Amino acid sequence: MAFLVKEYDDETINNFDSIAAKILKAQKYIDAIELVPNGVICCVYPLKGNEPVVGYDILNDVTRNREAFEAIERKQLFFAGPFQLKQGGVAVVGRLPIFKENKFWGFSAVLIKLQTLLDAAGIDTVAHDGFQFQLSKVNPNTGKEEFFLKANKKDNPTFTSQVDIPSGALKLSVTRLDKSRAVKETIPIFIFGLLLSFTGAAFVRAMGKAPLWLGQQLDESEKNYRKIFENTSEGIFRSTVEGKLLLANPSLAKIFGFNSPEEMLLSIENIADQLYYRPEDREKLLGELLVKGFVNKMEIQSITREKEKIWISLSAHLVYEDNKTISYLEGTVTDITVRKNDRDKLNEQFQVLMKYAFINSHEVRAHVATLLGLVNLFNGGHLSAEEQERVIKLISQETQALDKVIRGLSSLINEVEDY
């Protein structure tokens, strides 16, 4: 885990559960794995039953932090405990400090329940055949030796053998009345001591295999991202705030008239001057980004390599370094020239229609008024035959004129609708 954090950091945290599951499957004497950036437990596997420790700040717990600082000082795996866990039970916790660029990052840690450790070493906590095992440690906070296994105070030991376990400042001893068998029966002591060392080594060794798995996952993700990056119809870019183009995909190069992303990156020295029809639009874009952190589908008039005017829809966001300094901005570009021109033409047609309808509404009313007057005159019964013939002719002329106006308006409406 330490290796992965150093190499991949965020990817390790994002894939923590799957990586930890593989380690536990390979190492049956580890009960849980933790990731502890800056001394605060952020990830634990399995999570079930261990929920209370998530968010626990080890380095700021004065009752437990001495052994954590000991691991940092030694720069190697160090076992703390046994002690009572926040989630219940008694266990030892092996913490391996992680340093990135010689700066302390945090710990990768393994939790081994006391009973798991004893079972692995083949140690019976109950006196058997005259033997009594004991696990002890000097409490780093009180300076007093603490004993973790039950002892029969009635026994009067005639011989005691012990071994120190430096990776956890632990001491394991076995007591027997019969001295002759003491050496033979103390073998579990050494097994126990070796177990702690082997557990740490196995943990590190298991992690050595994890980069291969994670690397395969990263390769697959990289391939998928590359397919999207190269085949999407949208232009994808990354640039500095000052206007230097850092990254471009094939679609972006095509939109601006370049043969390849490489050619575009070599040709563009200043985005505002070379890609914006109005350089002040670049300032407007940066202003909105600084205020909101992003822009969505901003329509900008741009120019291609051949100085042809085009319209683009641009979406972008700022990317920060250490959440403070702007590192770069990245986003997507869509060529909307055809759509923009069509929309502008449609607006023009609509304005013409409104103007035409307004003007011709007067003509329609005039023709209708004339027709009504002529009809009333004809129906009055006071006209001679010659006058009636003249009125009928005028009615026909007005009808034709009105029809022409209506047809013209109808034709214009149809053009706008078809467009």
CA distance 408 to 344: 22
Residue 415, helix vs strand vs coil? helix
Strand partners, 312: 300, 335
Residue 188, helix vs strand vs coil? helix
Please compute the mean of the pLDDT values over residues 31-55 and round it to a whole number.
92
pLDDT tens across 113-154, in order?
888 877 765 555 545 555 566 667 777 767 777 766 666 555
On the 0-12 / 13-18 / 19+ scale of CB atoms within 10 A, 255 is buried
Position 208 scores a pLDDT of 47
| Cβ partners under 8 Å of residue 120, min gap 6 | 29, 195
The values of phi and psi at residue 238, to 5°, are -145, 135
The beta strand positions in 10-89, using DSSP E, are 32-37, 43-45, 78-84
| Cβ partners under 8 Å of residue 325, min gap 6 | none
Alpha helices in 93-186 (DSSP H): 114-121, 182-185
| Cβ partners under 8 Å of residue 41, min gap 6 | 34, 35, 53, 54, 55, 56, 58
Position 9 scores a pLDDT of 55
- Which option is the CATH number for 2-114+198-213: 3.30.450.20, 3.40.640.10, 3.30.56.10, 3.30.930.10? 3.30.450.20
Residue 93 contacts residue 127 (beta carbons within 8 Å): no
Residue 135 contacts residue 188 (beta carbons within 8 Å): no
Position 352 scores a pLDDT of 66
Strand partners, 98: 106
Which pLDDT band, with edges at 50, 70 and 90, does 183 fall under? very low
Measuring CA to CA, how many Å separate 224 from each of 54, 216, 221, 238? Answer: 33, 12, 5, 19
Residue 176, helix vs strand vs coil? strand
For the whole model, what pTM was predicted?
0.41
Nearest Cα to 251, choosing from 373, 142, 343, 335? 335
pLDDT tens across 310-356, in order?
999 999 999 987 667 888 999 999 999 988 877 777 677 667 666 66
CA distance 10 to 211: 14
- Which option is the CATH number for 233-335: 3.30.930.10, 1.10.10.10, 3.30.590.20, 3.30.450.20? 3.30.450.20
| Residue written as token pair 């923009």 | 340
Please compute the mean of the pLDDT values over residues 268-289 and round it to a whole number.
93
Encoding tokens for residue 139? Answer: 């409490």
Measuring CA to CA, how many Å separate 30 from each of 13, 33, 51? Answer: 19, 8, 17
Encoding tokens for residue 71? Answer: 């691991």
CA distance 199 to 313: 57
Nearest Cα to 315, choosing from 340, 332, 292? 332
**Using CA atoms in the order 208, 213, 214, 215, what is the torsion angle rounded to 10 degrees?**
100
Mean pLDDT comparison of 26-40, 206-220, 286-300, 388-402, highest-scoring range: 286-300
Position 397 scores a pLDDT of 86
Strand partners, 302: 276, 310
Looking at residue 149, its amino acid is L
Lowest mean pLDDT among 32-46, 60-74, 207-221, 357-371: 207-221
pLDDT tens across 247-261, in order?
999 999 999 999 999
Domain ranges of the chain: 2-114+198-213, 117-195, 233-335, 346-418
